[in-house]
Amino acid sequence: SDYTDSDDLVADTNEDGQNGSSQVIEFEEEEGEMIEKVIEHRMGRVGATGPKTASYQIDENGDPNAGCVDDSDEPKEIQFLIKWKGWSYIHCTWESRQSLEEQKARGMASPEDIDYYEGQEELNSQLRQLHLNVERIIAHQPPKIGVSETCFPEYLCKWEGLPYGECTWEDGALISKKFKSKVNEYYQREKSQNIPAKYCRVLKQRPKFVPMKLQPSYIGGPDQLKLRDYQLDGLNWLAQSWCRDNSVILADEMGLGKTIQTISFLNYLYNQHQLFGPFLLVVPLSTLAAWQKEFEIWAPTINVVVYIGDATSRHMIREYEWVVLNV
């Protein structure tokens, strides 16, 4: 066959650990980037490979494989979408056997060492679209001298659907162009004066409770969502209990909006009494995404940090998300 089988992208080994096929590509060990995983494959236009196939390059300059269809007479080659080790998904590129050989890419030792794509392409495609989006910027640093010609800093990016352990430093010009709102949100958090304080006055002496007859303007987010009457009653009950220094349990039936009432109560403490946390919420893993989303909708001014993941991810969170640099 003129086309390389997908298994040729990885070194085939026998039980003794020796190369078992003369058809295998043997990548150099010390040169070129390392292949982390093969995400999917296609029959693509010859030469439609390399950096110009990265998602941000396609957005900027167009897809070099546009218009290439399977039943055309145009020369084609089998191409693989490569996730490069140490690089985020935004830098994934389509590569052929020839392009991988030319750049002396380093491969994996066996098929078991990569997330092999066979039978999983649809799932991989859906996940990959998430991984292309910046969820949150958690740090910045000056650009490397001689690497960047712009005045933009580098940003440490947390990607949607990926743990903190897979955060990557990215070019500031690229991130500022594609994810401007995330850059703005980052600097708003960095400049915020709403910082938790050990000596907050209301922690020493609880204030007098003042009933909220109408929903406060700071609850509901930019869309000005409205609490139902019984939810406003629940908010008042929580606020009154807190002012009296009473511990309580909100035991409404499922579906009545206990999450929203709880978030609204924290928003009340944050805005009404300048109690800026920290607030510790322990929630079931299955509801974690829902809590995060409701905070974004109902209380976008509260900085929500999801503390989850392996040791590497938790270390990243402690190092970058729990440190207040402007005090």
pLDDT confidence of residue 150: 64
Considering the segment(s) 6-129 as one domain, its CATH architecture is Beta Barrel (2.40)
Q: Taking residues 156-162, what's their average pLDDT?
A: 94
Lookup result for tokens 């907050």 = 200
Predicted confidence (pLDDT) at residue 8 exceeds the cutoff of 90: no
Class level of CATH domain 201-302: alpha beta
The C-alpha angle with vertex 285 and arms to 279 and 286, in degrees rounded to 5, equals: 125
Count CA atoms closer than 13 A to 113's CA, side-chain side: 14
- In the sheet that holds 134-141, the strands lie side by side as 134-141, 154-159, 168-170
Average pLDDT, the chain: 83
Q: Where are the domains of the chain?
A: 6-129, 134-191, 201-302
Give the Cα separation of 272 and 267 in Å (integer): 8
pLDDT confidence of residue 38: 85
- Provide the whole-model pTM: 0.76
Are 107 and 9 contacting, i.e. CB atoms less than 8 angstroms apart? yes
Predicted confidence (pLDDT) at residue 2 exceeds the cutoff of 70: no
Going through 193-321 in order, the beta strands assigned E by DSSP cover none
Predicted confidence (pLDDT) at residue 266 exceeds the cutoff of 70: yes
Domains 6-129 and 201-302 share a fold: no
- Regarding beta strands 154-159 and 168-170, do their DSSP bridges make them parallel or antiparallel, or are they unpaired? antiparallel
As a CATH number, domain 134-191 is 2.40.50.40
